[in-house]
Structure 1
Amino acid sequence: MVSLIYFSTAIGIIMALIVLTIRMKASKKPVSAKKIILPPIFMSTGALMFIHPMFRVTPPEIVEALSVGLLFSILLIKTSNFEIRGEQIYLKRSKAFAFILIGLLIVRIVAKLILSSSIDVGELSGMFWILAFGMIVPWRIAMYLQYKKLCNEINNHISGTTV
């Protein structure tokens, strides 16, 4: 059981480094609605884990995990901003985002190590998936709304100069 905790922690660290790398590269390419919307959709397939009884969580655990995810999403929303370059929208690089992502990872690892002594590994995995999903969905919704606002600004600017 302990080896499962260490293995899943290592996977979490690797995934966080991948996200950080992707995020840093993302600022070099224009953003699209598709790039904002697809990650939560892809992540939603992870909900299939709850088919297996090992991963099922109680309603209070769902509320707890979702609440923490929503709180963490605020940090991501605050550090995700766009800018218009020419007629395209780009994600602004934020040094704070890297530190926040690493900070969230550390908090998550510490919580996992503490909670693994009192909560079954499967339930804990389910809770952390809910936490992550509860974090990514509001963050991506906020990004999408900000993106659409900038799209409208670009369209208004273009139509205002061509009339």
Structure 2
Amino acid sequence: MFTKQFLVIASIIVSLLMVVIVNLVRLRNTKKPAVAKKIILPPLFMATGASMFILPMFRPTLPELISSVVMGMLFSIVLIKTSKFEIRDNQIYLQRSKLFIVALIGLVALRMIGKIILAETIHIDPAQMSGIFFILAFSMILPWRISMYIGFRKLKRQLDNACRPT
């Protein structure tokens, strides 16, 4: 139906669109007070994509699974370091970070390069590659969002303690 090359190029285009969308959402979120629900929900919504693994063609091998999880967790460190909260006007806001967009572009570029290398050298099936990169992305987003939630709760406790009458 579609050539392998077409699928790789299409996935790169989708990745670039996601960078733009994530950056726009991030900029909008720095202007509004943060809420726990918006921190927690993205990984839950993304988890529904794991239903692809019902079909055997999307399942990675054990070494591919382990390397995807490890790479995702390593990549999450960059997102964690560029995502901090601050208290402004007695509310919690996500800090603006110019480094975040640089980090995001860098991570997407690494994913694209990895996808191209895997497609050209190892000859992994496009469906299986989709599974591998889904696992990588989920393994990157989950620790990042957990870290954000922990940071948010810490500042929320500070705010609650400061606002309590003595």
Q: TM-score range by the shorter chain?
A: over 0.9
In the alignment, does 2:23 pair up with 1:20?
yes
Length, aligned pairs only: 161
Which blocks of at least 5 consecutive residues in structure 1 are unaligned? none
Quick one: distance in 2 between partners of 1:30 and 1:23?
Answer: 12
Quick one: distance in 2 between partners of 1:78 and 1:91?
Answer: 13
- SS, match of residue 33 in structure 2: coil
Larger deviation, residues 89-98 vs 11-20: 11-20
- SS, match of residue 31 in structure 1: coil
Q: Which residue of 16, 39, 44 maps to 1:36? A: 39
Q: Extract structure 1 runs of 4+ deviating beyond 2 A.
A: none
Quick one: distance in 1 between partners of 2:53 and 2:20?
Answer: 26
Q: Which residue of 130, 149, 156 maps to 1:151? A: 156
Instruction: Tell me the CA shift for residue 20 of structure 1.
Output: 1.0
For 1:1-163, list aligned pairs within 5 A: 1-117=4-120, 118=122, 119-159=124-164, 162-163=165-166
Quick one: distance in 2 between partners of 1:20 and 1:116?
Answer: 28
Q: CA RMSD in A?
A: 0.8
Between the aligned residues of both structures, percent identity stands at: 51
- SS, match of residue 29 in structure 1: coil
- SS, match of residue 111 in structure 1: helix
Quick one: distance in 2 between partners of 1:20 and 1:63?
Answer: 29
Instruction: Tell me the CA shift for residue 34 of structure 1.
Output: 0.1
Quick one: distance in 1 between partners of 2:162 and 2:136?
Answer: 39
- State the Cα deviation string for residues 45-101 of structure 1 (Å, max 9, x = none): 110111122211111111000000000000000110000012210000000000000
- SS, match of residue 96 in structure 2: coil
- Letter aligned with residue 76 of structure 1: L
Instruction: Tell me the CA shift for residue 17 of structure 1.
Output: 1.1
